[in-house]
Amino acid sequence: MSIEARTAIEALRAGVPNRAAVRLMGTDEPGLEHAFDELLQLVWADRSRARPGLGIAGGFGTGKSHFLGYLAEVARAQNFVVSRVVVSKETPLSDPARVFEAAVRAAVLPDRHDDAITGALTILRQSRDKMTALETAVEQAGDALAPVFSTLLFLLQRETLPPGFARQLERFLAGGKIRSGDVRQALTAVGGARKFDLKLPVSRLLVEQRTQFLSALLHAAGYAGWCLLFDEVELIGRYTPLRRALAYAWLATWLGLEGARAYPGIVAAYAITDDFVTAVIEEREDEVRLTDRLRLKDRHQEARLATTAMRHIAQTVRTHRLRAPGIDELARANMRLSEMYRDAYGWEPPAGALPERTATRTMRQYIKGWITEWDMHRLTGDVTRIVTEEIAANYAEDEGISTPSEEDTD
């Protein structure tokens, strides 16, 4: 029996595909895979023109999370560091600092099991050439990075630092705080005679600069880039108006849409429900009402970015919607799953006719239905049929769905 197959079946039974399930089940969306692959190839190309990230749309259970997981495997195979970020109450898309912290926590290196920042810094400290590459990137960034990042780079190159300071530095790069007094003490300890400006930029700029620095750090360590995958973006439909407007603007920023700050080395993709445009953007007239709200606060750049994001979502729903499974897709999925189930339990699922294909039944329902039917047959000998029920998306606004961010308070 295969442990990998068993863990994959357990994940699919729960409706939350893991890496093993994604690898073994594969995907039937070659067009979207090709579009994503092109983004990976162009990650360090000319950023003077926009190269927008990829969006995918689909109903509940159509395989959006599975497909994002497949994209993660594609990116890792091409030596990208990958972060999967699920939009939630704890990770509101309207709060860039919390999104950044979640992305760092979720970051997976393609070749080692270390924490992403710890692993990349270990590689840099072992290679003078790689450290020089990071120095060059920071110098070329110029005023786009505050002097504190040059200071930290100077300290990174020292062989000895005060006890615990290296960990403080890593936490700062991951989104935490660092005291200027501790930095000055570390500079003194390593003979840092130069005077450094340790003043931090304002919150929004600090998030942007941490993102740029970390992308450069990962690239200098030898990785192809940083891939950010955002799941359940439709949750922003439950935000109150101002937070929803900011979420749209930040989605545009993370994706690198037209007019947003460019992040060299970053590729982003997101998944969203296919009724979001009609149920939220159009029904609530977000493109007019929310952008007007931002302009009244003199936040004109964010208003433009929010508009761009809404139009990108609309385009995604029109052109990048996951297809309902056809007979051929169902047959392939059934065959893959049957082989996986046999490897997991040493028991051959009985061959049978595929269930009737309907317009509303999702791939998740088919897969969970097959697994449950085989479980019952294997354990009890009974032949069962599963009844499914469609779950409607909930877009009701809820003040408690995310806490106000620093950006909301003006």
Please report the domains of the chain, with CATH numbers, ordered by start residue.
Answer: 3-110+223-323+400-408 (3.40.50), 126-206 (no CATH)
Burial category of 140 from C-beta neighbours within 10 Å (exposed 0-12, middle 13-18, buried 19 and up): exposed
Select the more confidently predicted residue: 20 or 103: 103
Q: What is the pLDDT of residues 3-24, one digit of tens each?
A: 889 998 988 888 777 888 888 8
Cα 19 off chain centre by? 15
Sign for the CA dihedral angle at 130, 134, 135, 136 comes to positive
Q: Which helix (H) or strand (E) holds 326?
A: none
Decide if 314 contacts 281 (C-beta within 8 A): yes
Q: What is the pLDDT of residues 85-95, one digit of tens each?
A: 999 989 999 99
Whole-angstrom Cα Rg for the chain: 24
Give the range among 30-39, 51-60, 188-197, 373-382 with minimum mean pLDDT.
188-197
Is residue 410 over pLDDT 80?
Answer: no
Decide if 152 contacts 184 (C-beta within 8 A): no
Decide if 146 contacts 201 (C-beta within 8 A): yes
Decide if 176 contacts 100 (C-beta within 8 A): no
Select the more confidently predicted residue: 246 or 372: 246
Could you give the percent of the chain with pLDDT greater than 70? 91
Q: Which amino acid does the sequence have at 106?
A: A
Q: Residue 409's pLDDT band (boundaries 50, 70, 90)?
A: very low
Decide if 17 contacts 69 (C-beta within 8 A): yes
Mean predicted lDDT score pLDDT of the chain: 87
d(CA 39, CA 267): 7
Residue 279 C-beta-side C-alpha neighbours within 13 Å? 18
Instruction: List b or e across 177-196, with b for residues whose CB sees 16 or more CB atoms inside 10 angstroms.
Output: ebeeeebeebbeebebeeeb
- Token pair recorded at residue 65: 């999370």
DSSP state of 80: E
Q: Which amino acid does the sequence have at 170?
A: E
Task: Give strand ranges (E) for 92-242.
Answer: 225-231
d(CA 201, CA 13): 47
Q: What is the pLDDT of residues 250-295, one digit of tens each?
A: 999 999 998 998 888 999 999 999 999 999 999 999 999 999 999 9
pLDDT of res. 353: 64
Q: What is the pLDDT of residues 235-254, one digit of tens each?
A: 999 999 999 999 999 999 99
Select the more confidently predicted residue: 169 or 16: 169
Q: Which amino acid does the sequence have at 187?
A: L
d(CA 315, CA 185): 52
Our CA angle for 209, 89, 101, nearest 5°, is: 25
- Token pair recorded at residue 362: 């999702």
